[in-house]
Amino acid sequence: MVDIRNVYCVGRNYRLHAAELGNEVPASPMIFMKPSHAAVSLDNARLPVTGSQGDVHFEMELVFYVARPFESGISPDDLFSHMTVGLDLTLRGVQDVLKAKGHPWLPAKGFRNSAPLGRWLPFSGMSTLDQADFTLLLNGVEAQRGNAGDMVFGLRELAEFVGERYGLGAGDVLFTGTPAGVGSLKDGDRFELRWDGQTIGSGQVSLEV
């Protein structure tokens, strides 16, 4: 597991995912954060997550690792050194209540182990990013499939938006949003995270009450 500092996440960055939850696609990137200790490495391990606050939903995402401080105009090819596939785990019922009250999403998004990450791969650059799909298999069945080319806001736009407003530095990570197909996890579910058909993370869910 690499050292991780700030964990930035992007909401509603795939149109079909926004539609499946009945949400509008934002006019500019919707950014939220998770605590750094929400991040956990996946290596065919048991993944303990809270099961006492309602449904835990999986949201598979491409995640990028920042290698150097952000500067205006920097290319993503220079800013990011590695990438992986991760999960943005969400307490959906808690999130719905928070949204209705206009409250921050931290209780729904920032709980322990809510940012599982697959194995880090060298980032091969923007020119090849949309040439491969990323997928989530749940109990051996494909649950989600995505492609960076379907993002509402691309990696360059996200990096500039976050970097200029909040800052990006070495050790920060950027979750880039989930495609359609999110759903609930059950105790004992096994999952695999794949990039271009290669398994780069796996584990078994253990819901704790």
Q: Are 207 and 51 in contact (CB under 8 A)?
A: yes
CATH number (domain holding residue 137): 3.90.850.10
- Is residue 117 one of the residues assigned to a domain? yes
* CA–CA separation, 169 and 185 (whole Å): 33
- Is residue 27 one of the residues assigned to a domain? yes
Give the model's pLDDT for residue 141.
Answer: 98
Q: Is 117 exposed, middle or buried (CB count within 10 Å of its CB: 0-12, 13-18, 19+)?
A: buried
- Is residue 113 one of the residues assigned to a domain? yes
Total of domains in the chain: 1
User: Does 1 score more than 80 pLDDT?
Assistant: no
What does the buried/exposed string (b/e) look like for 127-140 if buried means 16 or more CB atoms within 10 Å of the residue's CB? eebeeebbbbbbee
Give the model's pLDDT for residue 21.
Answer: 83
Q: Are 142 and 179 in contact (CB under 8 A)?
A: no
Give the model's pLDDT for residue 43.
Answer: 86
Mean pLDDT, residues 181-204 taken together: 97
- Is residue 11 one of the residues assigned to a domain? yes
Q: 112-169: per-residue pLDDT in tens?
A: 999 999 999 999 999 999 999 999 999 999 999 999 999 999 999 999 999 999 999 9
Least confident of 13-17, 27-31, 112-116: 13-17
Alpha helices in the chain (DSSP H): 15-20, 76-79, 92-101, 106-109, 126-129, 155-165
Q: 46-75: per-residue pLDDT in tens?
A: 999 999 999 999 999 999 999 999 999 999
Q: Which domain holds residue 86?
A: 7-208
Tokens 């996200």: give the residue.
Answer: 158
Question: Which DSSP category does 153 fall into?
Answer: S
Q: β-strand 56-58 against 45-50: which pairing, if any? A: unpaired
Percentage of the residues of the chain whose pLDDT score is greater than 70: 100
Four-point Cα dihedral 90, 135, 193, 85, nearest 10: -70
